[in-house]
């Protein structure tokens, strides 16, 4: 296919010959003089007319950088040379001077400056030029293949002229939507066709025309090889030469898709790795001012060859051990019937995380061109269907609220459809990928996306019987590289809720959580049959046993009779791990303890942390949990706390203090004394228990065995202490019916 493409459009992809003139300017090129080098990429800068009236005849570059290679010892950069009324680009080798990094950019929000007049070019001006169709591009450098690495060359008029000669016979006219539109439409990019240079359009169109030809060729080859002919294509469930050839065509279309991801005018040149970057490093189309146009007929990143190799490798890997017939069908999850009596594992959309349909159009327009004849049902529409898509996109539904309601209703319907149809003997597993802000295990925050999703699952009639944290994303993805992304998914394990499920009170729900979660946490951190859950994953994993309790009931009723929402249930469950329900002093102590244990550390640290937690060092000292003197501070151990402490008269009573006094009582005087103390501060009981649990897991994780033991003893003695508290009579609560 590549050879055919070479025949048809090879003239648009010339080699570059190192001329004597080039060597005169760049003596380092002398050994290459006369050689014709294969181009890896042409690097372009977008241009606008200079806003300075004196230079309005000139198209000046919007270059975000002039650095071509930042590889140590192999640096290269562009140097703009002003000549007469215009300019040209030269290329130099060596480490780039500091100013090259900025190109013609004028700081983060400043836009650019005119290379000729130094006049500022703000974004508003660029937008108006773009909207008027006056944004152009100028060749800034050529990257070619050398015997030992990349060779960077100044642009030539011939190469620029050849690129401008390309006249595409077809272009995708589908309009950009959503996150594919917001960043670029202001600059005049309106349809998918606008995201490609004319030469890229010619190449991709040529490839897509070649796919059906390749299919026919494969079919002939398969027939000639004697494969029994059933005359059926893939869509009709065929298994002979036609289906075989079409399957090859599908993979070639994938390779074309991948080529498009690298072969568009929004592909950045990555100066460290010295390769073009793919467009979709994230789930949106960003605006790029200088771009790399890969040599699609070459063999480096971005070429058809490299893309085909990549698809081939994936194919070999994924089909190495087993091949199971697969089946693709376009249907709406809310009404589909294919899951009847099946075992279902599904990966639904995650609220507003990704605008699949909008993003898919980028690939769909090319896939449709190649594959419509093979899968008429899959490619019936000009663009990807959007109306039924279950994502909460405010722009599509009019407002944030309407988008949320659409998602919740639709997802409930889709889940209900699954719950009703799937085989009752097996649980259904549902993947949920967390966003960064949903995975914070210290804040215990809950997000609308996660809550709404769980709400839909439970409303649909599912009881959740497990939540499994799972690593599903590659760490090297652009989004996670260099950030603290946990890259986790959670698998919800669900069964249909029993038809006559009861309702319970909030109190009963909390009682059940108290009874079940400490044990569940214990099992997760210790690891029994299963390997231990990593501490960072605990906050997700604990939702499983918590939600198992919540979702088995038709409703958990609040004191006023209203059903408890998922948000509240999650907060109650998270309490077993999270700290944000604790008072400010306790939050301070927890953080300090995690960092310094019982050791002494600087007052400055204590002061900063106290401020961030909304308290003060003096307040902590007054509360009786911290000692501070001579510019230092440390937490007081339980054994150092004063005896004879009276919670009723303590005006500042952090849970931290109450818990350590309770441990003191337990260790010094046993369960009944601890029970008697607990009876005097019943409202602290639940937070104390949660804090003890949290401290226990913390100490275990840190390997602080002695401390872990103290908290563990309290947790294991808890029911005895509670009983003793009951016997002592809860102060402030009615201990007996007054009959």
Ligand X SMILES: C[S@@+](CC[C@H](N)C(=O)[O-])C[C@H]1O[C@@H](n2cnc3c(N)ncnc32)[C@H](O)[C@@H]1O
**Strand pairing report for 555-557 and 503-505:** parallel
Phi, psi of 491 (to 5 degrees): -100, 120
Query: What is the contact mask toward ligand X in residues 352 to 391, using x (rule: CB under 6 A)?
Result: ----x-------------------------------xxx-
Interface with ligand X (CB under 6 A), residue from 122, 235, 332, 686: 332
Closer residue to ligand X in complex, CB, 352/389:
389
User: Looking at 138-146, 348-356, 442-450, 597-605, which segment touches ligand X (CB under 6 A)?
Assistant: 348-356
* CA of residue 209 relative to chain centroid, distance: 35
600 DSSP 8-state letter: -
Q: Rounded to whole angstroms, how far apart are CA atoms 613 and 589?
A: 10
- Closer residue to ligand X in complex, CB, 390/666: 390
- Per CB under 6 A, contacts with ligand X among 385-424 are 388-390
- Please give the full DSSP string across 408-420, using - where no structure is assigned: HHHHHHHHHHHHH
Nearer to ligand X, 92 or 396 (CB): 396
**CB of residue 414 vs ligand X: minimum separation in angstroms?**
6
Number of C-beta neighbours around residue 659 at 10 A: 23
Between 491 and 620, name the residue whose CB sits nearer to ligand X: 491
Distance from C-alpha of 687 to C-alpha of 718, rounded to nearest angstrom? 13
Least spacing, CB of residue 234 vs ligand X, in Å: 20
Phi-psi region of 351 (alpha: psi -120 to 50; beta: other; left: phi over 0): left
To the nearest whole angstrom, how small is the minimum distance from the Cβ of residue 178 to ligand X? Answer: 13
> At closest approach, how far in Å is the CB of 331 from ligand X?
7
CB-wise, 80 or 355, nearer to ligand X?
355
**Residue nearer to ligand X on the CB measure, 356 or 598:** 356
473 near ligand X, rule: CB under 6 A:
no
Candidate segments 20-28, 186-194, 343-351, 398-406, binder of ligand X by CB under 6 A: 343-351
Comparing CB distances to ligand X, the nearer of 388 and 599 is 388
Contact between 347 and ligand X by CB under 6 A: the answer reads yes
Residue 92, number of CB atoms within 10 A of its CB: 20
Contacting ligand X within 133-152 (CB under 6 A): none
Contacts of 314 (CB under 8 A, 6+ apart): none
Q: Is 348 in the site for ligand X (CB under 6 A)?
A: yes
Under the criterion CB under 6 A, does residue 333 sit at the interface with ligand X? yes
Nearest approach in angstroms of CB 341 to ligand X is: 19
- Residue 314 in contact with ligand X, rule: CB under 6 A: no
Instruction: Indicate the residue among 350 and 592 with the shorter CB distance to ligand X.
Output: 350
The nearest distance, CB 345 to ligand X, in angstroms, is: 10
How many residues bind ligand X (CB under 6 A)? The answer is 10
Give the shortest CB-337-to-ligand X separation in angstroms.
13
Which residues, including other chains, have CB under 8 Å from residue 281's CB and lie 6 or more apart?
Answer: 478, 479
For ligand X, the closer CB: 119 or 334: 334
To the nearest whole angstrom, how small is the minimum distance from the Cβ of residue 391 to ligand X? 6
Taken in order 6, 11, 14, 20, the sign of the CA dihedral is positive
In this complex, which beta carbon is closest to ligand X, that of residue 333 or of residue 491? 333
Nearer to ligand X, 273 or 338 (CB): 338
- Which ranges of 268-391 would DSSP assign to H, the alpha helix? 304-318, 356-371
State the nearest-atom distance from the C-beta of 685 to ligand X, in Å.
42
Q: How far is the CB of 267 from ligand X (least distance, A)?
A: 22
CA-closest candidate to residue 589, choices 539, 646, 553, 636: 636
Q: What is the smallest separation between the CB atom of 472 and ligand X, expressed in angstroms?
A: 9
Which of 216/420 has CB closer to ligand X?
420
- Nearest to ligand X of 352, 657 (CB atom): 352
187, 135 contact by CB (below 8 A): yes
Q: Can you tell me the distance from the alpha carbon of 596 to that of 617, in angstroms, rounded to the nearest whole number?
A: 16
Residue given tokens 């460290």 in the structure block = 272
What residues have CB less than 8 Å from 429, skipping those under 6 apart? 344, 345, 346, 491, 492, 493, 494
Smallest gap from residue 367 Cβ to ligand X (A): 14
Cα dihedral 660→661→664→666 (10° resolution)? -100
Decide whether 333 or 658 has the Cβ nearer to ligand X: 333
Select from 155, 172, 349, 449 the one that contacts ligand X (CB under 6 A).
Answer: 349
E strand or H helix that includes residue 276 = strand 275-276
How many other β-carbons are positioned within 10 Å of the β-carbon of residue 439? Answer: 21
Instruction: Tell whether residue 492 is a contact of ligand X (CB under 6 A).
Output: no
**Which range binds ligand X by CB under 6 A, 104-112, 136-144, 345-353, 596-604?**
345-353
The token pair that represents 252 in the structure block? 């070639």
Contacting ligand X within 507-526 (CB under 6 A) = none
Residue 354 CB contacts under 8 Å (≥ 6 apart), including other chains: 283, 391
Min CB(350)–ligand X separation in Å = 6
116, 58 contact by CB (below 8 A): yes
Residues 627 and 634: their CA atoms lie apart, in Å, by 5
Distance of alpha carbon 214 from alpha carbon 217, whole angstroms: 5
Pick the stretch among 261-269, 330-338, 575-583, 689-697 that binds ligand X (CB under 6 A): 330-338
466 binds ligand X (CB under 6 A): no
Distance CA 1, CA 9 (A): 12
Q: Least distance to ligand X from the beta carbon of 356, Å?
A: 4
Cβ nearer to ligand X, comparing 356 with 596: 356
Nearest-approach distance from CB 541 to ligand X, in angstroms:
21
Q: CA end-to-end span of the chain, whole Å?
A: 92
Residue in 713, 736, 720 with CA at minimum distance from that of residue 678: 720
Contact residues for ligand X (CB under 6 A)?
332-334, 347-349, 356, 388-390
């Amino acid at each position: 296919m590549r050879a055919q493409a070479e025949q048809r459009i090879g003239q648009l992809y010339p080699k570059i010959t190192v001329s004597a003139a080039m060597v005169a300017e760049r003596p380092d090129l002398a050994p290459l003089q006369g050689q014709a080098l294969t181009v890896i990429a042409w690097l372009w800068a977008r241009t606008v007319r200079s806003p300075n009236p004196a230079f309005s005849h000139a198209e000046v570059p919007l270059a975000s950088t002039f650095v071509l290679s930042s590889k140590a010892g192999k640096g290269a950069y562009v140097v703009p040379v002003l000549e007469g009324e215009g300019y040209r680009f030269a290329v130099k080798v060596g480490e780039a001077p500091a100013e090259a990094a900025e190109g013609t950019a004028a700081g983060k929000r400043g836009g650019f400056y005119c290379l000729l007049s130094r006049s500022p070019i703000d974004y508003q001006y660029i937008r108006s030029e773009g909207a008027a169709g006056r944004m152009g591009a100028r060749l800034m450098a050529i990257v070619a293949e050398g015997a030992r690495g990349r060779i960077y060359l100044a642009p030539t008029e011939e190469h620029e002229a050849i690129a401008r000669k390309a006249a595409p016979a077809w272009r995708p006219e589908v309009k950009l939507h959503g996150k594919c539109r917001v960043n670029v439409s202001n600059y005049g990019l309106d349809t998918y066709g606008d995201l490609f240079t004319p030469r890229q359009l010619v190449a991709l169109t040529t490839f897509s025309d070649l796919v059906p030809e390749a299919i026919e060729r494969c079919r002939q080859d398969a027939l000639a090889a004697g494969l029994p002919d059933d005359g059926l294509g893939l869509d009709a469930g065929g298994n002979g030469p036609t289906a075989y050839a079409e399957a090859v065509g599908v993979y070639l279309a994938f390779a074309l898709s991948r080529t498009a991801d690298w072969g568009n005018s929004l592909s950045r040149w990555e100066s460290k790795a010295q390769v073009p970057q793919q467009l979709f490093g994230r789930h949106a189309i960003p605006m790029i001012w200088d771009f790399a146009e890969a040599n699609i007929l070459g063999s480096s990143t971005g070429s058809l060859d490299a893309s085909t190799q990549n698809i081939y490798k994936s194919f070999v890997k994924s089909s190495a051990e087993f091949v199971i017939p697969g089946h693709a069908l376009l249907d709406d999850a809310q009404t589909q019937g294919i899951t009847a009596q099946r075992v279902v594992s599904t990966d639904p959309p995650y609220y507003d995380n990704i605008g699949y349909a909008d993003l898919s159009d980028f690939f769909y327009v090319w896939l449709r061109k190649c594959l419509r004849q093979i899968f008429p049902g899959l490619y019936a529409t000009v663009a990807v269907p959007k109306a039924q898509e279950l994502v909460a996109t405010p722009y599509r539904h009019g407002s944030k609220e309407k988008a949320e309601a659409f998602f919740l209703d639709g997802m409930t319907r889709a889940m209900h459809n699954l719950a009703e149809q799937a085989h009752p003997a097996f649980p259904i597993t549902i993947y949920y990928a967390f966003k960064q802000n949903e995975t914070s295990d210290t804040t215990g925050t809950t997000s609308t996306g996660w809550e709404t999703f769980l709400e839909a699952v439970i409303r649909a009639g599912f009881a959740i019987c497990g939540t499994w944290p799972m690593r599903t994303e590659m760490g090297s993805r652009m989004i996670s590289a260099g950030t603290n992304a946990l890259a986790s998914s959670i698998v919800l394990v669900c069964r249909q809720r029993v038809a006559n499920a009861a309702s319970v009170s909030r109190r009963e729900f909390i009682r059940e959580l108290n009874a079940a979660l400490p044990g569940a946490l214990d099992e997760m951190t210790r690891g029994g049959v299963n390997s231990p859950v990593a501490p960072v994953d605990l906050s997700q994993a604990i939702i499983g046993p918590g939600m198992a309790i919540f979702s088995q009931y038709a409703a958990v009723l609040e004191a006023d009779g209203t059903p408890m929402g998922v948000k509240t249930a999650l907060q109650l469950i998270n309490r077993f791990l999270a700290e944000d329900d604790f008072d400010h002093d306790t939050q301070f102590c927890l953080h300090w303890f995690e960092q310094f244990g019982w050791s002494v550390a600087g007052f400055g640290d204590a002061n900063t942390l106290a401020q961030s937690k909304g308290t003060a060092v003096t307040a902590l000292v007054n509360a009786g949990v911290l000692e501070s003197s001579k510019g230092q501070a440390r937490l007081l151990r339980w054994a150092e706390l004063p005896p004879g402490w009276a919670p009723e008269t303590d005006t500042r009573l952090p849970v931290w203090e109450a818990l350590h006094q309770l441990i003191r009582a337990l260790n010094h005087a046993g369960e009944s004394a601890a029970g008697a103390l607990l009876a005097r501060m019943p409202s602290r009981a639940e937070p104390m228990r949660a804090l003890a649990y949290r401290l226990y897991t913390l100490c275990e994780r840190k390997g602080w065995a002695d401390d872990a033991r103290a908290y563990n003893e309290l947790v294991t003695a808890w029911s005895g202490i509670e009983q003793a508290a009951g016997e002592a009579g809860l102060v402030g609560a009615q201990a007996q019916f007054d009959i």
